[in-house]
Amino acid sequence: MEVVLEMTLPRDAESAPLVRHTLDASLRGLGVTSDIRADISLALGEACANAIQHAAAGEYEVRARMDGARCVVEVIDGGGTGPASWETPQAPRDARQTSWEARQASPHAESGRGLQLIRAFMEEVHIRDRVSRNGAIVHFEKSLAS
């Protein structure tokens, strides 16, 4: 069985728990263990928090696909001061992509560790610019097998 969720959410603090609980309920329904659900929930929460805090648009999107073997999630923001602000504005696109992948927050920083957490708990993580609009797509995946 395949489950697909697509949500357009307002940039407010109440939207992140809603999407986390919705995805968790879907994963639980598929019989996914609590440890794997917790990893996915943490990564999703970090990606949503970044979109809520930094995106310029009034909404952001979350898309998730679960097929019983793998969970694939994308959090799509509308641009602003999020991960793209880590880049040098005049840097070529390829240099910016490299900058996204290399970015590391200090262990003592009070913010900026979300991407590190997502990378630590997920098996595959990609961040890319949206092709036809401002913003970024945070894409992450995790196997649903223990």
Least confident interval from 27-36, 39-48, 51-60, 64-73: 51-60
- pLDDT above 70: residue 47: yes
For the chain, give the mean pLDDT. Answer: 81
Phi, psi dihedral angles at 77 (to 5 degrees): -110, 170
What local confidence, expressed as pLDDT, does residue 93 receive? 41
Q: Report the half-sphere exposure of 137 (CA within 13 A, side-chain side).
A: 14
- Over range 47-75, report the average pLDDT: 91
Least confident interval from 67-71, 105-109, 136-140: 105-109
Structure token pair of residue 112: 């900026």
Give the pLDDT confidence of 80-95 residue by residue, as tens digits. 544 443 332 333 344 4
Q: Which residues of 17-32 are buried (b: 16+ CB within 10 A; e: fewer)?
A: eebbeebbebbeebeb
- Over range 96-104, report the average pLDDT: 45
Q: Between 44 and 88, where is the model more confident?
A: 44
Closest CA to 49 of 3, 11, 7: 11
| pTM of the entire predicted model | 0.78
Alpha-carbon span 59 to 48, nearest angstrom: 11
Give the pLDDT confidence of 2-23 residue by residue, as tens digits. 999 999 999 998 999 999 999 9
Cβ proximity of 66 and 2 under 8 Å: yes
